[in-house]
Structure 1
Amino acid sequence: MALRRSVGRWLIVAVLLLLAALETLLLVLVFVPLPRRPLLAAASVLAGSWSTAVLAAAALPGFLLVRAVWHSRARWAAWIALVTSAAALLSAFAPYAAAWRTAYDHGEGLALADQFAGSNYALEPDRDRSLVYARVGRHRLKMDVWLPPGSAPRTPRPAVVWVHGGGWESGHRSQTPRWNEWLNDRGYAVFDIEYRLAPRATQLQQISDVKCAIGWVRGHAAEYAVDPDRIVLAGTSAGANLALSAAYTARDDRPRASCPASRDASVRAVVSFYGPTDMAGMIAGQENPGDPAVRRFMGGSYRSASDSFRLGSPAQLVRADVPPTLLLHGSHDRIVPVEQARELDKRLTAAGAVHEYVEIPWADHAFDYNWGNWGTQIARPVLARFLRSHLHS
């Protein structure tokens, strides 16, 4: 019997130490700046987006098991579990508490229970909504059309052209479907587009595809009861970079729209969720900025293809008359540094351009993949006000 109790006690010690290691790993993933490597970045984004839930869940078993070994020779394991569990539990709510101030500044509150509202990510496009908006060489470019429920309105409605993220080389249309549903519920038609991906396409070709999609929506506005003069361009991550670049070069010949019929790619406003704004800065932060794939994507090095870098860098395209811009970025973004958004905000301010910048404390990249976390809870009302202000005035 004594042997059985001893084995059971040391089994609990092993579990406590395992939990302590897990809590420490989660704390590192959530709070420590890590190299921008794919696996580390993905793990950090997942842990950061659900930090309140995962840290609290990791902490509670440690507290529950401490009593079992507290009065034994393994008290040291109990102390380790207590310290790491307390740190995890306090850290679970620290980012959420920091976000309260930002939410308060924008006249909103935060609901802790909404942390468990679920994911905002789809594994594949919504093919029942898909149509071809352009043929570019062998490529058939598609978009998914999301329309508000009910019959067509008496007056044309505003629309959002949505551009997915994925590091310019992955991702798909309708990747974040809850944004489309949320916009539909507020009366906006959504055209969630795809574009040619790297390495087969350059960044300028991708911007051209976005312009082509805008032109298609303008040309088919009557068919979908859309007001062509009330179109907003929005994107996440790499898609936000393409959206900003397309919006800021709408009147320029370069990058030219990939479909000849798309003559007008202008939009009323543009929205960036954690998008890169300076390509030279982004590439300089990569492990191997001289990678041939990077040079193919940009059309050369910064020196030999400086015009391509400029046209793909919204921070270098700022004028006083760029479309009204909303920038949403997490202060703890470990894929697209927050300095990218701050620099664009600074240049827009200096130019006197209409814009709004909201920095979400402790939020990481792709924070809106968790539909209920504090970043998304702040972003939704901010986006709603921005759209009302620029599409209903």
Structure 2
Amino acid sequence: MSVIHRLLRTGTLTVAWLVLVPCALLPLVAILPMLPWVRIYAFDIVPNWASWLLIGCLGVLAIGLLARRQPGGAAGWLIAAALIGVLANAIVIGRLWQLAALHGARIDLAATLSLRDYSEAAAPDATYVYDMPDGEPLSLDVYRPPAAMRSARPGPVLLMIHGGGFVGGTRRLAAANMRNYAGRGWTVVSVDYRLARPGRPTWNLAADDVRCAMAWVAAHAGALHVDTSRLALNGASAGGNLALAAAYTRKAPRPGCGPALPPVAAVVARVPLVDPAASWDHGGEMQQVQRRLMRAYFGGSPAEVPARYRRRDMRRRLTPGLPPTLIMAAANDPILPIASARDLAARSAALGNRITLVVFPYAGHDFNAVYEGIPNQTVRQMVGRFLAENDPGPAR
């Protein structure tokens, strides 16, 4: 073997190892979460990018098999590690596919290779300012169904509430998903709410803003061509908490928002904050980050302002007769304990409410950020099916 040939072989194997380490290590850590901090990244990266990680391992395996024909034993270790990576990624993909099939979602594996973010390239059709509390404009975006899906009869409306830890995020988060829902026949309305900032906790303001937006939609139902008896809420993370609070509380909107609060036909919450005190106590690498968010939103710790934390505990809002609810949770959420979501679902079901809890395996808080990733394909189809099944209007 010539010197150049040996250098090329060594360089190729080095690059292969550099590719293999993340492609094999991350799914292994997602399955066996024993490495601190690495697991935090694994729980978000692996569900979103499992197809690409599998392709990386398969590519390295092919390089190892080709290199094995040449003298030297380094290729054997590369092949063994690549096979482990292929197996780990196959397990993750298989479990996610199984979950999708269980809930009636059909996964397009070729589409999972798309790099599109779930917020990418989906501008709204219109934007309005729905209120100005204390002079701060609060806006909402409207995504209308395509002309082919519009009819003389007003259609259903889906109110979206973004996440961001109550201190960040925008109404354009998940815009591509919102355009997808509009393409299925819903008029989608994505709303601002007041975010917490130093000296202004919003634990008693943000949910009121959501109710104001609901009342605004009801007051402008004719112009929006929507039937507010067919209104559903959809929130993620902090927005999931606000969606549940708005759906589970019959409280009049503040003056100026609209004449009345419309009923909620159904509510969807992805990785919602259920029990703020439990989230405060949730150990792990992200505890201090979550505590900063909780302190900003509530204006203190559970020990300092316990009544505020209790008022935002969604389990305390449970009564018989609540709207049908779909909760999508992450098995390995580093900031929101899965036990809280399970407790909420069990208690609500015991009261006779229709509630479905779906737990995504190997998943962290942002498990569906890639538009065509297996989790987000599942989320879109699951939400669409759930809303259609709980639409009180005429069949479409």
Above 0.5 in TM-score? yes
Structure 1 portions without partners, runs of 5+:
none
Q: Post-superposition shift, 1:231? A: 0.8
Quickly say closer, same or farther: Cα 1:119–1:367, change in 2 above 3 A. farther
Equivalence for 2:6: 6
Is residue 15 from structure 1 mapped to residue 12 from structure 2 by the alignment? no
Amino acid paired to 1:139? E
Q: Which residue of 1 aligns with 2:92?
A: 95
- Provide Cα deviations, 1:91-138, integer angstroms capped at 9, x if missing partner: 222122223433343344433223234434336994762211110113
* Structural mapping, 1:160-309, within 5 Å: 160-199=158-197, 200-249=200-249, 251-252=250-251, 257=254, 261=258, 263-264=260-261, 266-285=263-282, 286-288=286-288, 294-309=294-309
**Corresponding pairs, count:** 387
* Residue 65 to residue 145, structure 1, CA distance change in 2 (3 Å): same
Q: 1:307 offset after TM fit, Å?
A: 2.7
* 1:2-151 to 2 correspondences below 5 Å: 2-28=2-28, 30-33=30-33, 41=40, 44-68=43-67, 71-73=70-72, 75=73, 77-122=74-119, 126=123, 129-150=126-147
Letter in 2 for 1:339: A
1:141, CA displacement in angstroms? 0.7
In structure 1, the residue corresponding to 2:362 is in which secondary structure? coil
Measure, in 2, the Cα distance between the counterparts of 1:7 and 1:50. 32
Match of 1:359 in 2: 359
Q: What SS does the corresponding residue of 2:368 show, helix, strand or coil?
A: helix
SS of residue matched to 1:272:
strand
> What amino acid is the match of 1:154?
A
SS at match of 2:211: helix
Distance 1:238 1:198 in 2: 12
- Runs of 4+ residues over 6 Å off in structure 1: 34-37
Q: 1-side partners of 2:368 and 2:290: how far apart?
A: 32
Unaligned runs of 5+ in 2: none
8 Å CA contact 1:153, 1:225 repeated in 2: no
Structure 1 position 259, deviation (Å): 5.6
Match of 1:313 in 2: 313
2:121–2:176 CA contact under 8 A, matched in 1: no
> Structure 2 counterpart of 1:87, which letter?
I
Q: Following the alignment from structure 1 to structure 2, what is the Cα–Cα distance between the partners of residues 131 and 311?
A: 30
Choose from 157, 180, 183 the match for 2:155. Answer: 157
Change (3 A) 1:91 1:263: same
CA distance in 1, matches of 2:217, 2:364: 32
Moved more, 110-119 or 189-198: 110-119
Tell me: CA distance 1:120–1:288, structure 2 relative to 1, closer, same or farther (3 Å): closer
18-27 vs 177-186, which moves further? 18-27
CA distance in structure 2 between the partners assigned to 1:311 and 1:360 by the alignment = 28
What do residues 62-113 of structure 1 show as CA deviations (whole Å, max 9, x unaligned)?
A: 432443255434x1x3122112211221222212222343334334443322
> 1:351-390 maps to which residues of 2 (within 5 A)?
351-390=351-390
What's the CA shift string for 1:200-239, capped at 9, x where partnerless? 4423321111111111111111111111221111111221
Report the residue type matching 1:142 in the other structure: S
- RMSD, aligned α-carbons: 3.0
CA gap 1:66/1:165 in 2 versus in 1, 3 angstroms: same
Structure 1 residues 376 and 258, CA gap change in structure 2 (3 angstroms): farther
Asked whether the 8 Å contact 1:233–1:270 carries over to 2, the reply is: yes
TM-score (norm 2): 0.86
**Is the deviation greater in 235-244 or in 59-68?**
59-68
> What amino acid maps onto 2:168 in structure 1?
S
SS at match of 2:137: strand
More deviation, 157-166/52-61: 52-61
CA contact (8 A) 1:33 1:334 kept: no
Q: Matched residues in 1 for 2:165 and 2:290: separation?
A: 17
Q: Which residue of 1 aligns with 2:341?
A: 341
CA distance in structure 1 between the aligned counterparts of 2:180 and 2:370, rounded to whole angstroms = 14
2:231/2:266 contact within 8 Å kept: yes
- Over residues 43-69 of structure 1, what are the superposed CA-to-partner deviations in whole Å (9 max), with x where a residue is unaligned? 641333111222322441343244325
Please give the secondary structure, in 1, of the residue aligned with 2:323: coil
Paired residue secondary structure (1:50): helix
1:162-214 CA deviation, whole Å, 9 max, x = no partner?
01112222211121122222221222111011212222442332111111111
Larger displacement relative to structure 2 (350-359 or 194-203): 194-203
- Amino acid of the structure 1 residue aligned with 2:211: K
Partner SS for 2:151: coil
